Structure 1
Amino acid sequence: MSPKNKDLDIKVEYVTRVEGHGNIVVDVKSGNIEKCEFHVVESPRFFEGMLRDRSIFEAQHITSRICGICSCGHTLASIQGAEDALGFKPSEQTIKLRKVLLDYEFLDSHLLHIYLLAAPDALGAPSFVPLIKTHNAVVRRALRMKKTCNDVCDILVGRHVHPISSIVGGFTKLPRPKDLDAMIDLFEGIRKDMEETVALASKLKFPEFYRETEYLGLVSDDEEYPLLSGDIGSTDGRRFAKKDYREATNEFVDPRSSAKFTKLSRESYMVGALARFNLNSNKLHPKAKKAAKDLGFKAPDYNPYMNTVAQVVEVVHCYEHALDILRDLRKKGINYSEELVVGVNEKGHIPVKAGNGVAAVEVPRGILFHNYEIDEKGLIK
């Protein structure tokens, strides 16, 4: 039978090397593709139900469990949504430390994807495991960098998954001078590894594919690359305040997937590293800009495979940005009067009132939106 007349029924029920669970279904009749679908098959988890009637001050410890690799991002989104509902403005010092925490998460997640999920394809290996023999130095570098990032997070918030000390209002434990020194030294210890990561990216080969689409990410009038907060921006020129996130997401249900779909100006849009790069590349750290230039990578780029290269550029940005903040805090000193005791919120540190709060936070794979409505006792409705 010639390919033009061939019938195929393809069902891949476990897609490997993706962060999540998915199936692929392809139907070919007489050589023509009649169906080509990607199904997300994860079960509902009912976090909204778990949060109902719980204190807003407990929310971040629950919502961090939505995702282990993005637990810091969910923690920060939950905290900032709670603070928005309560009308509380965190201190500049708190915001800086939160930015370091988010930088850590980007480093941790991006390095995982670059080395363990993307690199095997580009280096001609079926998975990460064979690279142990063929590219041992690459594997050791990946594990060394990931351990270093985890150690930094342990120092900053108590552990690297589901942070403990970051709460509504600030931190229950602030880093001491020796902690700041330790985090700076840990990061400086992988500087050569960071340079080698950029060098590796220059050797990776990706399919040449071009499809112009709409990209969404956080945007800001500030000069800083927006990750912790901002408005919602589109490469098609649209912009929304965080409270209007539903106008940007327009979620709808499709029977082929348990995950919801979204659309804005076109049939779909892309989020994540490439979207952020296309929207905000002019705000990257100077060394990240240099990395992009060395890689011949510039915005706008419409090849979705280049998302991995965008991740490499963001790795450089977050690494340098976190170091800059830590050095600044070490130089100026930490204000330890801002350190909160456990249970401080229940003791009236932040006045409780009824309200509605929204937070929009970038995490490695896109934007998190946390929206809370609370009653006069601070219980989530």
Structure 2
Amino acid sequence: MSKNIDIDVEYLTRVEGHGNIVVNVEDGNIEKCEWQVPEAPRYFESLVGDRSWEELHHITSRICGICSIGHTTASLRATENALDIEISEQDKILRKIALHAENMQSHVLHVGYLALPDLFDVGSVVPLASSHTEEVKTVVRLHRLANEMSTLLTGRTTHPQRMIPGGFSKIPSEDELIELKGKLENSFDDLNAVVQVLESLASELPDFTRETEFISLTSDDEYALYEGNIASTDTGIEEVDNYLNITNEHIVPQSTAKYAKHNRESYMVGALARVNNNYEQLSPTAKEIAEKFGLEPICHNPFMNNIAQVVETVHSVEDSINKIEKLLDIGLESQEAYHKPDIDVKAGRGIGAVEVPRGILFHDYTYNEEGKCTKANCIIPTNQNHANIQLDMEEMVPQMLDRSEDEIEKSLEMLVRAYDPCISCSTHYLDIEFVE
């Protein structure tokens, strides 16, 4: 085939951060096919150096404005593991509900505002506000509910205040939890409306598969978001303390973000990975939604990640209702406002692993006897997905050479968006060449 293609997408839209798609084909030969991350690096591991154990979760929550609850939770779990801090079962349940709130918040935002325009073949959600007004209003209502839920549990919609080492500085009242439970129960009509829209557009999702490895937390007790072991569809179960054996970060020339690999040259994290590893732990209604779309383990189509996000949103609503009922049944143990647990500071190292919307997140801290951080490592979900995006592109492009340049470009943009990347969070590497 004799064909020339020149695709140069600088700063892809409808994703967080800056990423480029570059494809060059000369006379039918693919000379360049790259997913590039040019964004300036972040230095959060350095920012927390010599900072107190009481400060780290507030600092690292600023890594992301979308996954700030997740970063706070991973940070707290690392600190609590390092200092041998125990939290109550009540606080653990409240933290799990907070993670559900963030999952809902992020998934609804991504599917409703960022991914759905591709399926409608429009450039953004703005035209949909006129052409599909009720559908957009439905997304807005669900997003608002998730925001309100986040505020109730953590003090505000983003960058939480109330989650602290040892528990919470302030918790919701029983009346507030009852009100939230009612709002969640009333949200199923809106959730079903979103599912119906996606069902009508399911044929627009590209039919592409590339076999890969999927990695996430897993647990025998529940659909794992807050705690568990590391699961790989290739190699089975690994303890969280051995996470460095899983992630194997490395650098590549076209990216200021590190890549990761485990059993293969890449792996995928995120909603699809979690569904693949924990399908049987989904709530009943979430499993019904997955069945509607033919989503079952092991699904190797990355575009189905957006369907998995909707499935997880339903699961988060249903499981949050169950967890609130559990708290109400056992009776909410009250605590004074501005509660501060007594902590005995000691030297130690702790690792926190939680699932955030884009996948498994690791925080790893070492503290000295004064409770000052002497070493930190954060491995971000999108950082773990970059290599998989690159290899997906390399497999997709040869299959599309008979299409127009615009069609190829749209498909590659949809591929990146399917991963829902948080690019800014993932940039942790800078190659500096000093010239005398």
Per the normalisation by structure 1, the TM-score is 0.94
Aligned AA (1:227): L
TM alignment of 1:271-290, pairs within 5 A: 271-290=269-288
The one of 337, 345, 370 equivalent to 1:352 is 345
The answer for the alignment partner of 1:176 in structure 2 is 173
Q: C-alpha deviations, 1:68-91, integer Å up to 9, x for none?
A: 110000000000000000012211
The answer for the alignment partner of 1:218 in structure 2 is 217
Matched, 1:325 2:318: no
Answer whether contact 2:235 2:263 (CA < 8 A) is retained: no
Q: C-alpha deviations, 1:216-271, integer Å up to 9, x for none?
A: 11122x23001111111110023221111110000001110000001111111111
Answer whether contact 1:152 1:186 (CA < 8 A) is retained: no
Q: Which runs of 5+ in 2 are unaligned?
A: 375-436
The answer for the alignment partner of 1:373 in structure 2 is 366
The answer for the alignment partner of 1:147 in structure 2 is 144
Aligned AA (1:139): V
The answer for the alignment partner of 1:108 in structure 2 is 105
Q: d(CA) in 2 for partners of 1:341 and 1:375?
A: 27
Answer whether contact 1:88 1:350 (CA < 8 A) is retained: yes
Answer whether contact 1:171 1:340 (CA < 8 A) is retained: no
- Classify the secondary structure of the residue corresponding to 1:193: helix
The answer for the alignment partner of 2:31 in structure 1 is 34
TM alignment of 1:162-241, pairs within 5 A: 162-205=159-202, 206-220=205-219, 222-241=220-239
Residue 230 and residue 335 in structure 1: after superposition, are their counterparts in 2 closer, same or farther (change >3 A)?
Answer: same
Of 161-170 and 22-31, the range deviating more from structure 2: 22-31
- Classify the secondary structure of the residue corresponding to 1:336: coil
- Classify the secondary structure of the residue corresponding to 1:204: helix
Q: C-alpha deviations, 1:41-95, integer Å up to 9, x for none?
A: 2211211111011111111111010001100000000000000000122111111
How many pairs were matched up? 372
Aligned AA (1:366): G
Answer whether contact 2:184 2:317 (CA < 8 A) is retained: yes
TM alignment of 1:34-73, pairs within 5 A: 34-73=31-70
Q: C-alpha deviations, 1:313-365, integer Å up to 9, x for none?
A: 1111011001111122123221124x5735x35xxx01110000001110111
Of 322-331 and 81-90, the range deviating more from structure 2: 322-331
Answer whether contact 1:108 1:150 (CA < 8 A) is retained: yes
Answer whether contact 2:82 2:347 (CA < 8 A) is retained: yes
The answer for the alignment partner of 1:313 in structure 2 is 311
Answer whether contact 1:119 1:204 (CA < 8 A) is retained: no
The answer for the alignment partner of 1:251 in structure 2 is 249
- Classify the secondary structure of the residue corresponding to 1:315: helix
Q: C-alpha deviations, 1:78-132, integer Å up to 9, x for none?
A: 0000000001221111110000000001000000111111111112322111101
Aligned AA (1:369): F
Q: CA RMSD in A?
A: 1.4
For residue 291 of structure 1, report the CA deviation from its aligned partner. 1.5
Matched, 1:299 2:297: yes
Q: d(CA) in 2 for partners of 1:362 and 1:133?
A: 36
Residue 182 and residue 246 in structure 1: after superposition, are their counterparts in 2 closer, same or farther (change >3 A)?
Answer: same
Q: C-alpha deviations, 1:136-171, integer Å up to 9, x for none?
A: 111101111111111122122210101111111001
